[in-house]
Amino acid sequence: MSKIKNAFAGGKAFIAFITCGDPDLITTAAAVRAAAQNGADLIELGIPFSDPTAEGPVIQGANLRALKGGVTTDRKLAFVRELRQDVTIPLVFMTYANVVFSYGAERFIAACAACGIDGLILADLPFEEKNDFLPLCHEYGVDLISMIAPTSADRIATIAKEAEGFLYIVSSLGVTGVRSEITTDLAAIVNVVRANTAIPCAIGFGIATSEQAKQMANYADGVIVGSAIIKILEQYGAAAPEHIGAYVKSMKDAIR
C-alpha cells in the first residue's frame, strides 16, 4: 500500500511540484529536501517530456532545460532511490503516457515501486483509458492518480468513485501557470467528490500566493503548487533550494 494517505493525515496537505533535472539533478535533490524539511507533505516529481501539452510556458521551459541536460529515465529512477535514503514523505511521478509506453509500462511501474515512488500521474491519460496502466499499478502497489477538470461535469462522480491515492482537481481551464484569479466553482466539484469517495482531494493549476493557497484549502484537503516553484528555480538556479524552502514554509503556514 502506498504512503500517500500519510500526506493528508496531519491536516491540509501542501504538495510541491518539481521537474527532475531542472537545471540538474543535484539541484533537484536539494530542492526536494528543502521542500520536505519546510513542510511539504508530498512532492510530485515531473519527468520531462518533449511535448508537455498540459503545461504552460514556465513548466515547458523547465522540461526543455532538463531534456537538454540529457537526464535519462534510468537516472531519474536511481535519483529517487538516492532521495529515499532520507526523504520519507510520499513521492509521486508526474509525466505523460508516451514516456511510460516508450520505457515499457510494466518495466516502468515495477521500477517506480522498487525505487520508492508511491503514485503516478499521467497528465494526458483519459479516465476511460486508465486500464492500460491500472492493473500494473495494482500489481506493483503504485497508486494511479486521477485528475478532475472543470469540464469533467457528469464524469466527476465516476472518477471519484474509482480514485486512488488522492484526486487531483484542476482549478481552471487551460494549461499550468500562475493565475491572478481562480473563478471555477470548486466548492461544487469538491461536494460531488465528497459524496462519492473518502479519498482526499487536492487542488492544483494556478496557485501561487499564500492567499490563494488558504482559499483553496477551505475547499479541498490539499493544495498543489508547481509553476511558482519552477519560477524560483529558473530565477536562482543552483541557489534556488534555500528560496524554495522559505516559499514552501510560507505556503504551508498559510494552510495550517
In a domain, 131, yes or no: yes
Give percent of the chain with pLDDT exceeding 70. Answer: 92
Query: Does residue 72 fall inside a structural domain?
Result: yes
Mean pLDDT of 154-175: 85
Rounded to 10 degrees, the C-alpha dihedral 134/140/141/147 comes to -30
Does 60 reside within a domain? yes
Q: In angstroms, rounded to a whole number, what is the distance separating the alpha carbons of residues 145 and 168?
A: 7
Work out how many domains the chain is built from and give that number: 1
Long-range pairs for 182-185: beta carbons < 8 A, 24 or more residues apart: 182/206, 182/207, 182/212, 182/215, 182/216, 184/150
Q: By residue range, what is the domain housing residue 9?
A: 4-146+221-255
**Does 210 map to a domain?**
no
Please indicate, yes or no, if residue 250 is contained in any of the structural domains.
yes
For residue range 60-73, list pLDDT tens digits in order.
Answer: 888 888 888 888 89
Does residue 160 form part of some domain?
no
Using pLDDT thresholds of 50, 70 and 90, give the confidence band for residue 163.
very high
Cis peptide leading into 23, omega within 30 of 0? yes
Spatial distance between the Cα atoms of 142 and 201, rounded to a whole number of angstroms: 17
Q: What is the mean pLDDT of residues 90-118?
A: 96
Within-domain flag for 53: yes
Residue 203 lies in a domain: no
Please report the pLDDT score of residue 1 as a whole number: 52
CATH number at residue 78: 3.20.20.70
Q: What is the chain's mean pLDDT, rounded?
A: 91
